[in-house]
């Protein structure tokens, strides 16, 4: 079921390297892992945005399977910094850009509960076919060659995303959030 997704990424990397080797095209390859933050599409189907939107709307948080599968989550500004270092550097890659800190889906649901609504309910549903049990990036190459690693932990980044989602869903500024589109 997931083969088109997995093989599509492999094909893109292969073609990129073929152009690099055969035609001398300057390229960079980043393998981007789960990223979250303000301005994400609210209903994009990604687990962090799903949980945040569900909790804000007072809907149950949907956990697939037993909730023991793990993922890692990087804040968007960490990804941007990694991509900038990759693009400005001399190394082609591939580089894993992600946060190696792992959370089970249940732990993520609990962090969202703590951040938004301690009374939010969790609803279990059958797991999707071919769902990987573990996803954790090895960022040692990015650390060594790009001098990059993520710096914003989930518990610090999530409230910034929640403030943005709350404002866009309800149009309010609860928790002292400000209009994220105004920058100085």
Rounded Cα distance, 152 and 158, in Å? 10
For residue 64, indicate whether it is catalytic. no
Task: For residue 52, give every residue at least 6 positions away whose Cβ sits within 8 Å of its Cβ, in sequence order, or none.
Answer: 112, 116, 158, 161, 162, 165
Q: What is the β-pairing status of strands 30-32 and 95-97?
A: parallel
Rounded Cα distance, 170 and 57, in Å? 9
Helix (H) or strand (E) holding 179: none
Rounded Cα distance, 13 and 18, in Å? 9
The single residue of 5, 19, 36, 64 carrying the catalytic annotation is 5
Phi and psi, residue 65, nearest 5°: 70, -145
Of 142, 157, 173, nearest in space to 52 by CA: 157
Catalytic residue positions, numbered: 5
């Amino acid at each position: 079921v997931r083969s088109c997704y997995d093989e599509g990424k492999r094909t893109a990397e292969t073609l990129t390297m073929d152009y690099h080797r055969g035609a001398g095209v300057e390229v960079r390859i980043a393998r981007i892992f789960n990223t979250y933050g303000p301005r994400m599409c609210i209903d994009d189907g990604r687990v962090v945005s799903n949980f945040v939107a569900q909790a804000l709307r007072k809907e149950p948080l949907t956990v697939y399977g037993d909730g023991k599968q793990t993922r890692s989550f990087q804040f968007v500004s960490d990804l941007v910094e990694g991509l900038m270092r990759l693009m400005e550097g001399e190394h082609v890659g591939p580089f894993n850009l992600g946060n190696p800190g792992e959370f089970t889906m249940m732990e993520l649901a609990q962090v969202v509960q703590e951040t938004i609504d301690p009374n939010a309910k969790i609803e279990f549903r059958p797991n999707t076919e071919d769902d990987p049990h573990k996803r954790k990036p090895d960022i040692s190459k990015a650390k060594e060659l790009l001098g990059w690693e993520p710096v914003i932990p989930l518990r610090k980044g999530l409230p910034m995303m929640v403030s943005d989602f709350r404002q866009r869903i309800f149009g309010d500024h609860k928790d002292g959030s400000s209009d994220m589109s105004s920058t100085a």
